[in-house]
Every structure is written in structure tokens, then in C-alpha cells.
Amino acid sequence: AVSQEFTANLPKAELHLHIEGTLEPELKLKLAQRNHIDIGQDTIEEVQKTYDYDDLASFLSVYYPAMEVLQTEEDFYDLGMAYLKRAAANHVRHVEIFFDPQAHTSRGVAFETVINGLHRAVVDGRALNVDAALIMCFLRDFSKESARQTLAEALPYKDKFIGIGLDSDEHNNPPLKFARQYEDAAAAGLHLTAHCDIDQKDSIEHIRQALEIMGVERLDHGTNIVEDPDLVQFAAKNNIGMTSCPLSNGYVSPEMKGEEVLELLKQGVKVSIHSDDPAYFGGYIGDNYYAIADRYDLTKDQVVQLAKNSFETSWISDEKKAIYL
Ligand code: ADE
Ligand code: ZN
């Protein structure tokens, strides 16, 4: 068996982390006060009680309204720095941070406010020995036109983020809806990833679109791929990363999906372990490693392989990768 200390101290790359999902009750209260916003709760315990959900839709209906406390560049900076301190404590050496600009621009916060605040945190994170970068996600339940506008707004800042992703409610929102934005982003030299959530109705078709048509380099969640041996082979052959989030899985489905992770390891797919929305799902990356290791009795070698996979499928330079592999 593997100890909590072992999973905590292992050097890791965090590749599936929504910065908005790191909004802890304490910071939420502080920002509400600073911005004179009445969120309806006055204590950490009261905020914690609102973090109540049992599937993706009920989670998202708590998650988006919570963001109203994020208003200024300073707020986004503080959110970023609070996370990077946690990352450093979790021995995260490299992190690729998702952010959802449309969740903010749709309520009147400027794109530049979001990206400038987060980027400043990324730069200051280096002093904490955490190498960080940003990935811009489209909200897939927003229109194609909104995604087009968001990419147009983002491209002038393309030195401040390294790739694009796709998140939010997947139901009836297949990857191909955003084929044009993925093409344009790739042409601009950006990396590509997309959420293909577990237990989605059209999961396999969505995975197929993302891998075979849109050329994504990673799938976020995506472990349902085990249902389709041809796609598993494609993923193994093409070094596709698969970012599984055990504690998040445990919230939105009856289990953490450890069997799928083990099967993918066995088939040589570069699956790795991450935290998704740690303030909402009960733990940062070290806790996620420990949860899956403990529940499925992983060996040390398997845990080390998962961490190696995280660096291998990250978007850092080959020189930096070599340090960890
Ligand atoms: N946004 C934040 N967390 C998410 C998740 N687990 N799935 C889809 N969209 C998300
Ligand atoms: Zn996610």
C-alpha cells in the first residue's frame, strides 16, 4: 500500500484544475466583503453548506453563481495566488490552469481583467517554485458565436495562455460544435484539450470526435474510452493524455472510476490524476492521488507511473520534461 506521505511528496504536474473551482469559502467571503456583495452567507460553515450537489448539473448550478464575488483584476490575482500556494504545498512542479472567460464576460467583467489578474499570479508563482501556465476553456453550453467572439477577444493575449479547452454541460454539446474554434486555435499555435465527461450519454462519440476529427492532445476525464478498444489503441499510439479526477468522479457518479484508470495504465495509455474543482470536491491533487491509491490498492510503481504520465503529457518543453521523467 502507498502512504499519504508518499502521494503528498511525489512531484506532480497538475493538468486538470479549474481556477474558479479553487474558490474556497474563506476567500469567497473575503472577496464578497471587499466588493460589497451580499452572497447570503456570513460564515465559512454557511458557505460550505451551499456546496451541495450529486451530479454535474447540480454542481454547475452552485459553481457559476459563486463566481459573482470575482470582479477586479486583484480578485483574479488573489484567486490565482491562493491556488498556487496550495499547489506548492502539494509538490506540484508544473500546472496548466483552466479558466472560463465566458463565466465572467457574460456578467460584465472584461476579458482583460480576468487574464491580466491570472497571468500576474502565474508570473509570481515562479517564486513558489511552481511553473504555471493558463488554458482558456469555452463553455460548451454557450453558443458557437459566443466561442468565436471569445477566441477573437483572446488571440491578442495569446502570449498569456498556451492552449484551449472545452468544459461545462456536455449534454447535447458535442466537441464538433466548436470545430472551427479548434482549427483556428491550432493555426494560432495553441495546444488543444477538451472535456469528455464520464457517464455522458454520447461519451464515446464525443471522444471519437475530439481525438479523430479535432486532433486534441488530451482528454479531460475521458476514461470511458475503455468501452471502445479501437479508440484506446488510438490513444495509446498517439500519446494522448487522459486527465482523471477521482474525487470529482466520486461526486458526480457512484464511483471514482479507478478500474478504468487501471485498465488504461495496463494498455499503455498516458492517464494521470488531477483535482478538477478542489474547493468543491473535497481535496487538492495530493488527496486525489491518495484517494485512488487507497481505494484501489495501487502499487508504488503505478502511482509513480501516473505522476510520470502527468509530466509526459504536459505542455512543458522537452528540457523541463526530462527533469521529471
Ligand atoms: N467546469 C468545472 N468543472 C467541470 C467539470 N467537472 N465538468 C465540466 N465542466 C466543468
Ligand atoms: Zn474539469
Q: How far apart are CA 286 and CA 113, in angstroms?
A: 31
Give the percent of the chain with pLDDT over 70: 100
Q: Please tell me whether 52 is known to bind a ligand.
A: no
Q: How far apart are CA 153 and CA 134, in angstroms?
A: 16
Q: How far apart are CA 134 and CA 161, in angstroms?
A: 5
- For the cut 90, the answer to whether the pLDDT of residue 181 exceeds it is yes
Give the percent of the chain with pLDDT over 90: 94
Helices marked H in the chain — which ranges? 4-9, 25-34, 44-50, 56-66, 73-89, 101-105, 111-125, 144-154, 179-187, 203-208, 229-237, 246-252, 258-266, 278-281, 285-295, 300-312, 318-324
Q: Is 66 left (phi over 0), alpha (psi -120 to 50) or beta?
A: alpha
The residue among 314 and 200 whose pLDDT is bigger is 314
pLDDT digits (tens, 9 = 90+) for 70-122: 999 999 999 999 999 999 999 999 999 999 999 999 999 999 999 999 999 99
Band of pLDDT at residue 146, cut at 50, 70 and 90? very high
* Amino acid (one-letter) located at 194: A
Burial class (CB in 10 A: 0-12, 13-18, 19+), 189: exposed
State residue 249's pLDDT score.
96
Instruction: Specify the residue with its C-alpha closest to ligand 1, atom 4.
Output: 168
In this prediction, the answer to ipTM > 0.90 reads yes
- Burial of 13-44, coded b for 16+ CB within 10 Å and e otherwise, reads bbbbbbbbbbbbbebbbebbeeeeeebebeee
State residue 134's pLDDT score.
98
Instruction: Specify the residue with its C-alpha closest to ligand 1, atom 1.
Output: 168
Band of pLDDT at residue 42, cut at 50, 70 and 90? very high
What lines the ligand 1 site, CB under 6 Å?
18, 21, 56, 167-168, 195, 197, 248, 276-277
CA of 285 to the centre of ligand 2 (A): 13
The residue among 85 and 320 whose pLDDT is bigger is 85
Query: Minimum-distance ligand to the CA of 249?
Result: 1
Q: Among 16, 17, 56, 104, say which to mutate for ligand 1: greatest number of ligand atoms within 8 Å of CB.
A: 56
Domains of the chain: 4-324 (3.20.20.140)
Q: How far apart are CA 259 and CA 137, in angstroms?
A: 28
State residue 254's pLDDT score.
87
Inter-residue contact 96 to 14 (CB < 8 Å): yes
pLDDT digits (tens, 9 = 90+) for 89-102: 999 999 999 999 99
Q: What is the mean pLDDT of residues 231-254?
A: 96
Q: What is the mean pLDDT of residues 117-137?
A: 97
Band of pLDDT at residue 246, cut at 50, 70 and 90? very high
CA of 168 to the centre of ligand 1 (A): 5
Half-sphere exposure of 275 (CA within 13 A, CB side): 31
State residue 85's pLDDT score.
98
Q: Please tell me whether 16 is known to bind a ligand.
A: yes
- Mean pLDDT, the chain, integer: 97
pTM: 0.98
